[in-house]
Structure 1
Amino acid sequence: MLALEERAADDFDEYGTGHKLPPKRKCTPDAVLCHRIEPRFTERRVPTLSIIVPAFDEAANIADALQALAPFRQRGAEVIVVDGGSRDRTAELARPHADRMLIAARGRGAQMNAGAGIARAEVLLFLHADTRLPPDADRLVVRALAGANAWGRFDVRIEGRSPLLALVAALMNWRSRLTGIATGDQAMFASRKIFADAGGFPEIPLMEDIALSQRLKRIARPICLAARVVTSGRRWERHGVVRTMLMMWRLRLAFFLGADPTVLARRYGYVER
């Protein structure tokens, strides 16, 4: 495991992209460390898509999640896993299935920014470890952006036993189209430039996806792909579908009204993910 020595946010310059990605933080033992993996891409062969996967204590699922990305890697995408200091074997199990493996400060916003900072493609896709992409996701995203300064998300389906989960997903997709706000469960994607222009993910303990969406939609309305990602319903079923939905609505309303994300995260049950 080697310190990046202040290169985590600058490595992409070696590939001639020309866009700086925020936040630009000094890499320290508490910030970003890198497990060096022999790169599959050279300056002449830049990946078509960078899939950035933040993870924390996902040992039970991470290998399967990353194996599902193998077809995209075969077609020219790179997979970057950013572990938030897991207490289990997440990093060890992820390493064989990733093109690059980072250890970053815990928190999805910080982890995804760290991954974006070393991404080599002009198109970035942020994928939660418990979410699966449709088989042609790479082609859909690259075609949707087509060199434009744009961003977007997929529709979502929530996997689980409760029939209410289908309703929750339908409401999420409808609300997103109506408001121009996307959530991390919908696998947000963006051109490198618009992500940089928006300032990257706010490094807050909760609602980082909502906050970034607010920034991005000031620049451009999102591209809403009808193809569906599949995300785990474990959180919903563990706490109750209706109860979780009502809690999320209350939290989101409080956030829009200016509540402190740290307070909201504590109310949600954890401080950082």
Structure 2
Amino acid sequence: MHTVWKGSISFGLVNIPIKLHTATENKDIKLRQLHKECHTPISYQKICPGCEKEVTNEEIVKAYEYAKNKFVILDDEDLERLKKENEDKAVEIVDFVKLEEIDPIYFEKSYFIAPDNGGAKAYSLLRKALTESGKIGIAKIIIRSKEQLAVVRVYKETLLMETIHFPDEVRNVQDVPNVPSEQLVEQRELDTALMLVDQLTTTYDPEKYTDDYRTALMELIEEKKTGKETVTATEKEPAPASNVTDLMSALQASLDKTKTKKPTTRKKKAVTAKKEPAEKATSARKNA
């Protein structure tokens, strides 16, 4: 399992060297975009609309837009320094709370916590303390240049870290449009709804729920692949070698060269034509 973060976590005077591993994965089926005419995959370029040209990663800088078209440029050195200052700090559990006190809207991403070298005993101690107390730990951590608030809890004998949103990252519920105010509900309607809830109530089993759309999409893809309903992208032909003469260029150059020579030839003929009468007159006088 790939390690995404390596450091230590502490509570009180106990320090645990740890590694984080992503606990979940995105199973979405990624579809490519092709040119309908030749089935070549579409590529996306970074274009500067001001210069009207493609730019490379080396030509791009990070900036914060504090007003319309007004930016503060942030150097990579500045960002790296801030990142280093915070990453050097150990992840410290600052509070212990009950899991049910945190609304699910705050939860973001899950990571398995594994003990690093020499951390097995302290790891087991924290796991046991959380299990016996029924509490979870609240901590802070820097992941991918972003400070995260996180909870540490036990999940199937493994310590699990879940990043959670800061309060100002959760939008105000008052801004949600068209939410109806409390209205009178007839008792008969409420009784029917409660009966339906009771009939559908069960024990949660995660294995019961599957992604039906993803399954159907993969079946459709396999069906088309088996039925040979496939296309092959058109490969771009390599550019001709620099020492190979372009036929059209050669023909055009030859044509231009011919046009340049023709006026010179006519001029010489014209001069010769003028000299001929003079030579004939001289010959006639001699004969006379």
- Which of the pair has more CA radius of gyration? 2
After TM superposition, the score normalised by the length of structure 1 is 0.23
- Structure possessing the higher relative contact order (Cα contacts under 8 Å, 6 or more residues apart): 1
Higher relative strand content: 2
TM-score using structure 2 length = 0.22
